[in-house]
Structure 1
């Protein structure tokens, strides 16, 4: 409990410091957050450490106070109890943006990324057309589509930079065979996937339908490991994101990876399947 109290106090001090550096009153901050002016008292209690704000409230404060970079990441760590290993569930748009920022920061120092992908190719391996098609089909607001496409394409740097992370991807067969965006777009996607598979730091494995049950069927996740930061697990749950950092959670997902690996086919057989599906599309 003492550690939690210290986090709450540190969070309050950091929020107050950020507000005062921008020369804003409590009332002004409340208005920027879309709250009533009388809610300035609640914000004051957040700053004093006598009441803990929700992670979604902190994410919104980060946005209205225009806090970015490491300062924003530190505030979200304090808000979601990262130091105590509590899961971080992000539901509101501001909180999802902050969680994405933490994910991008983790990828920048990553040495090993393991992606369990039962139904959809990992974003880092998707073509621009497939990314855009997914955004449109998912009813992403039109004015956000271009920015999201650019962000996802930018994440490729993690595997193409001079000192890239090693990427191990375990694909469900459905992730390869499901045509996303039409035959032409999907054929281009499979060609790009074969190109990426030639990189020495990328290993693609597929789990065939005939392999039977494995943790792959429970759902996808990303395990990111680094020599500079603790490992994290990221899950996407239909508009909500979950980030796990506790040693117990990370170890559980490492075991899930190994269970999937036992049912997976090696990279050579995987690229052969991708080439076969591509040939079928081209014939059609």
Structure 2
């Protein structure tokens, strides 16, 4: 029988989807356990991704929650396609699906490292900056995605939040993708976030005249206390989750190289403050 591997990208995402459905249905853990003839510990372990999940498990839970098609078919199909070490999600990810996945990884990660060669990391974006970046999207989709980013920011200020490190190319800080006043607000927000004890922001100078792995593209590495690391790549039309050890190790080595090229956190703060002063002179 198809069974997901506990801790894999698909297992974690499937578990998060099941938990979200239960919460949306306003059914408690113990009530669901009673309905499906399992212990509440079994439900908790299933929803946290701590145990492998079979198609029968998914069917049983969806029956207990009285979930019907097409949501039922989608989740059963997800349970069938298991154990893909590098998981490609074709098509533009739906807002809800991406929200559930990223927030689940951010919620359970002990460490998040984001390499940002093009834009301010989404988890650090202000609403106005995010709105400018998403200007080409339909209004309803854009506002939903902006709400998603606002929700993601909350994980960094949580008492048990993960350690977060942003490695950002210099031109990303300098590039005014939004109005000057919003650009200044975004940089001030970076300074405030960088003051949090669990957040480190470092800028990589653009005038190094040497190639570094950050030029190859944006990625996020999630590290967990009870599972192997996962790397997330997002392209124009798909999201990719990488968990095979060799591939993840390649990204870990790339992060080491990028860190060597980056300014110290204190130097980065001074650089951002200088950029803010220059913006304010133009207003």
- TM-score bin, normalised by smaller chain: 0.7 to 0.9
Corresponding position: 1:263 with 2:270 = no
CA distance in 2, matches of 1:172, 1:213: 12
Does structure 1 conserve the Cα–Cα contact (< 8 Å) formed by 2:106 and 2:222?
yes
CA distance in 1, matches of 2:130, 2:73: 28
* Structure 2 portions without partners, runs of 5+: 5-52
Q: Secondary structure, in 3 states, of the residue corresponding to 2:2? A: helix
Residue aligning to 2:237: 239
Does structure 1 conserve the Cα–Cα contact (< 8 Å) formed by 2:156 and 2:198?
yes
Residue aligning to 1:122: 121
CA distance in 2, matches of 1:13, 1:199: 41
Residue aligning to 1:110: 109
CA distance in 2, matches of 1:186, 1:254: 31
Deviates more, 1:146-155 or 1:216-225: 146-155
Q: Which has the larger radius of gyration?
A: 1
TM, length-normalised to structure 1: 0.73
Q: Secondary structure, in 3 states, of the residue corresponding to 2:86? A: coil
* Structure 1 portions without partners, runs of 5+: 30-60
- Comparing both structures, which one devotes a greater share of its residues to helix? 1
Residue aligning to 1:199: 196
CA distance in 1, matches of 2:173, 2:65: 51
Does structure 2 conserve the Cα–Cα contact (< 8 Å) formed by 1:14 and 1:75?
no
CA distance in 1, matches of 2:182, 2:161: 27
Corresponding position: 1:6 with 2:13 = no
Does structure 2 conserve the Cα–Cα contact (< 8 Å) formed by 1:109 and 1:228?
no
Distance 1:86 1:192, change over 3 A: closer
TM, length-normalised to structure 2: 0.73
CA distance in 2, matches of 1:157, 1:78: 33
Q: Secondary structure, in 3 states, of the residue corresponding to 1:171? A: strand
Distance 1:76 1:250, change over 3 A: farther
Deviation of the 1:228 alpha carbon: 3.4
Residue aligning to 1:162: 159
Distance 1:66 1:132, change over 3 A: farther
1:166-204 CA deviation, whole Å, 9 max, x = no partner?
111110011100112111100111111111111111111
CA distance in 1, matches of 2:92, 2:180: 35
Q: Secondary structure, in 3 states, of the residue corresponding to 2:191? A: helix
Corresponding position: 1:180 with 2:173 = no
CA distance in 1, matches of 2:156, 2:220: 14
Deviation of the 1:251 alpha carbon: 1.3
Q: Secondary structure, in 3 states, of the residue corresponding to 2:207? A: helix
Residue aligning to 1:279: 277
Residue aligning to 1:86: 86
Distance 1:213 1:205, change over 3 A: same
CA distance in 2, matches of 1:227, 1:246: 17
CA distance in 2, matches of 1:23, 1:221: 35
